[in-house]
Amino acid sequence: MTLKETYLKGCFVMSPKIILDQRGSFFESFNKKEFQEQTGIDINFVQDNQSISSKGVLRGLHFQIGKYAQAKLVSVAKGMVLDICVDLRNDSETFGKHFSIILDDKDNKQLFMPRGFAHGFLVLEDDTIFTYKCDNYYNKSSEKGILFSDSRLNIDWNFPENLIQLSEKDKNLPTFETLFK
């Protein structure tokens, strides 16, 4: 596995070594020891989640606050997404900046984001299976979000907005400026 830090400090793109032969393929999706050696981060994932979505579904931008903040390792088991993370760490030089990456089941890259990031993804293929590991448990009362189309964040989802499918909750999320005055 190779890790490359993005311009958002502590946020890494992970690329596995994929072994191919006549039977198919194999790769190690996570190795705590190797991750810690390459990043200096001692992570303990406690919850795995999975969603299955159709093309055009946008989930996010979500995060948890306080003692329930979560670091995440996200990947695609089947299909393709445009994955976005937003730096919400007040003391960060990249506060309010975002990073985007295409994640798919071909190169099996993953994105690690530390605590203090909002996260969202747009599904680009039907029946996409999106998975993520979290280092903290979900807590409904600590859940927050930012509107995906927030003009301050200026995220290019590169998809017709009229074809994006959102939950009612995600349609009514506040703006970045509302949350971080």
Among residues 7, 62, 119, 138, the one annotated as catalytic is: 62
Among residues 68, 119, 132, 137, the one annotated as catalytic is: 132
Query: Computed from CA positions of residues 45, 51, 56, 58, in that sequence, does the dihedral angle turn out positive or negative?
Result: negative
- Classify each residue of 50-80 as buried b or exposed e, where b means 16 or more C-beta atoms within 10 Å of its C-beta: eeebebbbbbbbbbbeeebbbbbbbbbeebb
Question: What is the C-alpha separation between 165 and 179, in angstroms, rounded?
Answer: 23
* 137 among known catalytic residues: no
DSSP state of 165: B
* 132 among known catalytic residues: yes
78 in Cβ contact with 126 (< 8 Å): no
Question: What is the C-alpha separation between 144 and 25, in angstroms, rounded?
Answer: 38
Residue 78 has which token pair? 């089947």
Q: Which residues are catalytic?
A: 62, 132
